[in-house]
Structure 1
């Protein structure tokens, strides 16, 4: 399956993908890896993201794409002892003190020449007050090297089709929670800044069952010269490891 963007010169350029907050659970463990699961229980998810320059419709190669999301029970690594069934009213980076040094379900990849990154992870669960989502940050670099970073161009969140999420939340690893997941339409960030433009395309990996997992993909259009206000360079330095 190949969803790499193919754009003829006469076609319109890509739309800018909507930015969203980084949230309180951002950190920078500097983990370059494709498989970020670290053995976490959950329904498998293979994620494919294509990064495209919205001004030129050309793929953005050599960009550093970080993703992070909660586990099946709603916990984030670094904050594993925070109760995911209790809603928190803060959304800024660093607003919730870390509780541990775990690194599951976090990592980054450099885009290839086609602007594509691939991750192996699990379908995320949820924490109180939010729909199921994955955080993404795109850094423009001068090469595949942390020491040559330029700036953070785009920060966003990716959501899942409700039909797939309902099936996942009925699975053993996800069920039995005190809190209920919000639907996409109930999630304030989805409604105000995301919508369909932030929703992943999802296919099952197996023909007969969702237990084999899902394949999710989307194209993210960015302005490579933009400087995101949601994650600043000093945030990567301050919240390293």
Structure 2
């Protein structure tokens, strides 16, 4: 007798990480590099991200992972002349005209056989109206011309534990701002787009202080067949370099 019972899709074996907006400071800078700091002042941050397939739990290899974030004073490269102490509309890509061609604190790496990428950067500061965060994009490679790849499978933001951030913001490179940062719980995107699940595990590199910097790590579960609506193919045409 024929069984006509509908077949349900297999459940995810790993938690699918929540997507968040790309924000107004996205650029396709085409920079493949591990060290993205470009000599920026700030407390060092060594970042390790592990990308896994949420359906299989297996590492996603050869994916291009781009990150970008603001400097210790809240400025983004490409928009260095925008006042970070003035709250702005943070929703739309390209909503704020670029002011320069700087490239600090931006770059991409390919995941290794274990799905891991590593970056050397600084602990980000903040800009008005937001908690401290790092932007992340995962692109799935479908050809040899990797710098032109537009299959964005996942767009997110990574947040920091409050205890670590309070310590960092007391350092001289971060002090003296006209505004205060939002806590994670005060941040609209953290609260409404799964920020708790996107918070990094953070540890000091030395036992007794943060003077040597921090190590931050997390695992990001993605759907490798997904096409994110947060960064569209046409955004690469508009915002490359």
TM-score range, shorter chain: over 0.9
Question: Cα offset for 1:233?
Answer: 1.6
SS of the residue aligned with 1:80?
A: coil
Aligned to 2:231: 231
Number of residue pairs the alignment of both structures matches: 231
Partner of 1:66: 66
CA distance in 1, matches of 2:90, 2:114: 37
Structure 1 segments of 4+ aligned residues over 3 angstroms from their partners: none
Which residues in structure 2 correspond to 1:82-97 (within 5 Å)? 82-97=82-97
Q: CA deviation at 1:150?
A: 5.3
Contact map agreement 1:65 1:111 (CA 8 A) in 2: yes
Structure 1 residue runs without a partner (length 5+): 1-11
What stretches of structure 2 of length at least 5 have no aligned partner? 1-11
1:196 corresponds in structure 2 to 196
Matches within 5 A, 1:93-172: 93-142=93-142, 145-146=145-146, 149=149, 151-172=151-172
Correspondence 1:6-17 to 2 at 5 A: 13-17=13-17
| Alignment partner, residue 9 of structure 1 | none
CA distance in 2, matches of 1:101, 1:73: 18
Q: Relative to structure 1, is the Cα distance of residues 147 and 187 closer, same or farther in structure 2, using a 3 angstrom cutoff? A: closer
Residue 51 in 1 paired to residue 54 in 2? no
SS at match of 1:84: coil
Whether the aligned pair in 1 keeps the contact of 2:53 and 2:222 (CA below 8 Å) is: yes
> Aligned equivalents of 2:149 and 2:90: distance in 1?
29
SS of 1:211 mapped into structure 2 = coil
Once the two structures are TM-superposed, the CA of residue 90 in structure 1 deviates from its matched residue by 4.0
Change (3 A) 1:163 1:90: closer
Taking structure 2 as the reference length, the TM-score comes to 0.93
| Partner-residue secondary structure (3-state), 2:194 | helix
- Structure 1 residues 71 and 224: CA distance shift in structure 2, 3 A: same
SS where residue 46 of structure 1 aligns?
A: strand
What is the RMSD computed on CA atoms of the aligned residues? 1.4
1:95-153 CA-to-partner distances (Å, cap 9, x unmatched) read 00000000000000010011000000000000000000000000000256425625100
Q: Distance in 2 between matches of 1:233 and 1:33?
A: 23
Q: Contact 1:46–1:216 (CA<8 Å) still a contact in 2?
A: yes
**Residue of structure 2 equivalent to 1:5:** none
Residue 35 of structure 1: aligned partner: 35
**Does the CA-based 8 Å contact 1:131-1:183 persist in structure 2?**
yes
- Partner residue in 2 for 1:174: 174
Larger Rg: 2
